[in-house]
Structure 1
Amino acid sequence: MAARNTHRAWGWVTKLLHWVMAVLIIGTSILVLHVNDSTWWFKSSAPVFLEYIHWHKAFGLIALVLLLIRMVWRWRGGPAPVLPDASPAEEKAALWAHRSLYILMLVVPLSGWVASSAFGSPTKFWGLFTVPGIIPTNKPLVGPAYWTHFILSWTLLSLVGFHVVAAFWHHLVRKDGVLRGMWFGRG
C-alpha cells in the first residue's frame, strides 16, 4: 500500500491519520460524557474529575497536533480519490462536509484551550510538561469560550455521525467501495 494518495485510492498515511483522529474524537467525547454523567463531576476539587479533565485536554491537544499534520499531509499527500459515479451535487456535498469536519476539528480543541486558558487552568500533559495558555486568564471569557466549545463539540459529533452514515450508505446502498477505500489492506 502506497503512502501517498492517488486518484484511485487513499494512501496509508491518510488512512492512519483518519482512523487515529476518529478514535481520538470519539474517545475524548466518551471520556467527557462519562465525566459529565458522574455524580461527582460538579466538585471541581474531586481528584478523579480533574484527572479526567487533564486526559480530555491532553487528548484534545493531540488531536489538534494531528489535525495540523493531517492538513499538511492533505495538501502534500496527493489528490483525494475521485468518488465513483458521483453527481456534481454529491461531490459538492462531500467537499463541504469534509471542509466542515476540518474546520470543526480545528475550532473545537482551540475553543477548549481558550476556555481552559481563560479560566487559568493549566493543561498538564500527563505530568510530562505543562502546556502554556493560549491567552491570559480572563474570567469573563470563560463562559462564552466554554459554550462555544460545548456547542461546536456536539456539532462535530453530529457531523461525524453523518459521515459514518454516509460511509455506510456508500457501502450498503451504492456498493461503490468508498468505505473499503478508507480501510487498511486495500490499495
Structure 2
Amino acid sequence: MAANALEARRQAALAREKIRRYDIVSIVLHWLTVLLVLVQIVAGLVMTDLERGTTQDVLYYTHKSVGIAVLLVVLLRLLWRIGHPWPPLPPDTPSAQAGLARLNHLLLYVMLLVMPISGFVFTAAGGYPVPFFGLVDLTGVIAKNPDLAKTAQWVHLSAQWVVYALVALHVLGALYHLVVRKDGVFQRMWP
C-alpha cells in the first residue's frame, strides 16, 4: 500500500513537470487584460465619487477608452484561442474542479464582453461622447435613446459585481494551485 502511494506521488510529480505553459501571446494578452481591468475598476470606482471637473473628466475619458481597449483585447484573445487551446490541466485534477475552472473562464470572457458593450451602449445611447484615446470618436454610432441607455446602464452597473466575483474566484483558484496543490498550473500563465 505504501509503495502504491509513493508511486502515485512520483507519477503526479512527473506529470507536474510536464505541464505545458500557455504560449507567449496568450500570456501577454492575459496580463494586458489584467492591467486594463484593474485600470477600469479603479477609474470606475473613483470617477463617480468625484465632483465635476477636470479630474472626473479625465477618469471618464480613461474609463471609456480603456473599456473599448478591453473589448478589443478580449476579441483578440478569443480569436487567438481558436488556434491555441488551453493547455490541459494536470491529470490528477478532480473533474469537478476542472469543470468549475472552465466555467469561470467562460463566464469571465462573457462578462469581459458584456461590460464594455453595455458601457458603450449606455454612453452612446445616452448622447455622451465616446472617445477612444483621441484616435477615434465613436459618438453617434448609436442614436440617442434614453430608454436603451437606461437599460444598458443597469446592465453595466449590475454586471460589475459579477465581474468582481469571477475575478476573485479566478485569483483564489490560481492561488490554490500555487500554494495548496503546487501542481504547476499557476506557473503556466506566469510571465
Answer yes or no: is 1:124 the counterpart of 2:136. Answer: no
DSSP 3-state at the match of 2:48: helix
Kept after mapping to 2: 8 A contact 1:67/1:106: yes
21, 26, 33: which one pairs with 1:21? 33
TM-score (norm 2): 0.85
Number of equivalent positions: 173
Answer yes or no: is 1:94 the counterpart of 2:101. Answer: yes
In structure 2, the partner of 1:52 is 59
Answer yes or no: is 1:145 the counterpart of 2:157. Answer: no
The amino acid of 1:73's aligned partner reads W
Max Rg structure: 2
Question: Displacement of 1:82 after TM fit?
Answer: 1.3
Kindly report which structure 2 residues correspond to 1:28-39, keeping only aligned pairs within 5 A, or say none.
28-38=40-50
Kept after mapping to 2: 8 A contact 1:113/1:133: no
Deviations along 1:25-84, one digit per CA (max 9) or x if unpaired, are: 11111111111233x0xx4xx33222211110000000100111100001112x311111
In structure 1, the partner of 2:118 is 111
Deviations along 1:107-148, one digit per CA (max 9) or x if unpaired, are: 110000010011011212232320244521101222221111
Question: Displacement of 1:22 after TM fit?
Answer: 0.7
Structure with more helix by fraction: 2
Answer yes or no: is 1:80 the counterpart of 2:86. Answer: yes
64, 67, 78: which one pairs with 1:71? 78
* C-alpha separation in 1, matches of 2:175 and 2:152: 34
In structure 2, the partner of 1:154 is 161
In structure 1, the partner of 2:13 is none
CA gap 1:16/1:139 in 2 versus in 1, 3 angstroms: same
Kept after mapping to 1: 8 A contact 2:122/2:153: yes
* C-alpha separation in 1, matches of 2:134 and 2:112: 25
Kept after mapping to 2: 8 A contact 1:113/1:134: no
TM-score (norm 1): 0.87
In structure 2, the partner of 1:62 is 69
Kept after mapping to 2: 8 A contact 1:115/1:141: yes
DSSP 3-state at the match of 1:135: coil
Kept after mapping to 1: 8 A contact 2:108/2:166: yes
RMSD: 1.6
In terms of mean alpha carbon deviation, does 110-119 or 7-16 score higher?
7-16
Gaps of 5+ in 1: 1-6
Gaps of 5+ in 2: 1-18
